[in-house]
Amino acid sequence: MKISRFNLRIIGLPLVRPFRTSFGTQTAREVLLVEVVTDDGISGWSECVAMSEPLYSPEYVAGCLDLLKRFLIPALKFQVNADEVAKNLSPYLGGQMAKACLETAVLDAQLKKEQISLAKFLGSTKSKVECGVSVGISDSIPKFIDEVSGYIDEGYRRIKLKIEPDWDFEPVKAVRQKWPDIPLQVDANQAYERSDGKLLAKLDEFNLLLIEQPLDEHDILGHSLLAKQVKTPICLDESIISLQSAEDAIEMKATSIINIKPGRVGGYLESVKIHDLCQSKKIPVWCGGMLETGIGRAANLALAALPNFTLPGDTSASSRYFKKDITNPFEMKDGYIDVPNGIGIGVEPDIEYLDSITTYKESVVRE
Ligand code: NPG
């Protein structure tokens, strides 16, 4: 596929409510968007999931922009198919989020040209997916219960609670007491130490679906040791950055469920490989979220429609995050969101709205 230009832009979108995790509080989402324009005049869109600061992963918006401009875009030489992008970018180490973003924009353009939806291309088997919601750390239990209550009333089918030392047992207990049967899981974002096994084992009584990423992302052995101390399944997120890392963590029994985030593993094509591996090893997977706009959400929904995505993901409705999304909003009906079935990722951004929230814009054009 011949590419005539790459349009890069950064937008700023306020969140409807602050989102606090063990690594910080987000009040707005700064998003790097890539538009690939082909010689046929087709636009492929994608969003980079990196945050403004390197708090969740080493990647961050300004760093990804630099990586794209300086190394990744030039490596594609304006002529590439989606299945060759990863190979062309492989000399450059790391940068999964920036690489995923570039590959997805190329893929969107290519699938639009081939008139096929991303969901179909990836191998989806569902037309709608079950919605979970991720609830941030709060400053009081009553305020927190109110927030959870609101989500349950809206119809969310699985609740994920962010935890950290001193915000774990009590909030989880409060939710479990009020909703004894709701599918519930927790996410620590690496906030605990190997020595916290006993403390985390106290959560076993709450019948949680999983504990997500309790320890440092590099501590695969620690997770494997912890898995022997707690009954609740351990699920890795930050530690899984590729097919290889998924294979190693499974083999070491450090994870019995995997959160697949396409941005974190370098793209949707790598995500499908991880999905297939997990399916063959009987490891259930679910699709994580990174406070995506409609562009990233559309592609995540396509992935979450694959058969081994048997747990609800962080695929919430647009209204959970933004007052106004940059695409038509994703709405939840009876706890499900429809998987987009239009060509490519199946959605287009509202350019006029984008222009009004753009903080940076630049094009890399073929000479
Ligand atoms: O619904 O998109 C969502 C947010 C889900 O909790 C969520 N994401 O650690 O998985 C995470 C967390 C996150 C958010 C990570 C933003 C990084 C950035």
Considering the candidates 162, 178, 231, 323, report the single residue annotated as catalytic: 162
For residues 124 and 197, state if they share a domain: yes
- Tokens 């222009």 sit on residue: 355
Can you give the pLDDT at residue 192? 98
What number does the ligand 1 atom closest to the CA of 288 have?
10
Residue 57 Cα to ligand 1 middle (Å): 11
- Could you read off the pLDDT tens digit of each residue along the chain, which spans 367 residues? 999 999 999 999 999 999 999 999 999 999 999 999 999 999 999 999 999 999 999 999 999 999 999 999 999 999 999 999 999 999 999 999 999 999 999 999 999 999 999 999 999 999 999 999 999 999 999 999 999 999 999 999 999 999 999 999 999 999 999 999 999 999 999 999 999 999 999 999 999 999 999 999 999 999 999 999 999 999 999 999 999 999 999 999 999 999 999 999 999 999 999 999 999 999 999 999 999 999 999 999 999 999 999 999 999 999 999 999 999 999 999 999 999 999 999 999 999 999 999 999 999 999 8
For residues 51 and 163, state if they share a domain: no
User: How many domains does the chain divide into?
Assistant: 2
CATH number at residue 272: 3.20.20.120
For residues 208 and 140, state if they share a domain: yes
Can you give the pLDDT at residue 153? 97
Can you give the pLDDT at residue 307? 98
For residues 219 and 169, state if they share a domain: yes
The reply to whether 346 falls in a domain is: no
Can you give the pLDDT at residue 132? 97
For residues 67 and 129, state if they share a domain: no
State yes or no: is 162 an active-site residue: yes
The reply to whether 321 falls in a domain is: yes
DSSP codes, 274-304? HHHHHHHTT--EEE---S--HHHHHHHHHHH
Please state at what angle helix 169-178 crosses helix 141-154, rounded to 10 degrees. Answer: 40
Residues touching ligand 1 (Cβ under 6 Å) are 51, 56, 134, 187, 189, 237, 288-291, 314, 316
- 4 — alpha (psi -120 to 50), left (phi > 0) or beta? alpha
Domain enclosing residue 28, as ranges: 3-115+351-365
Please state at what angle helix 268-280 crosses helix 82-89, rounded to 10 degrees. Answer: 90
State yes or no: is 361 an active-site residue: no
Can you give the pLDDT at residue 209? 98
124 token code pair? 């989806």
Can you give the pLDDT at residue 298? 98
Residue 60 Cα to ligand 1 middle (Å): 14
- Classify strands 358-365 and 3-21 as parallel, antiparallel or unpaired: antiparallel
Q: Is 246 helix (H, G, I), strand (E, B) or coil?
A: helix
For residues 261 and 330, state if they share a domain: yes
For residues 137 and 174, state if they share a domain: yes
For residues 288 and 254, state if they share a domain: yes
Decide: 352 and 120 in contact? Cβ < 8 Å: no
Considering the candidates 99, 112, 160, 261, report the single residue annotated as catalytic: 261
For residues 89 and 169, state if they share a domain: no
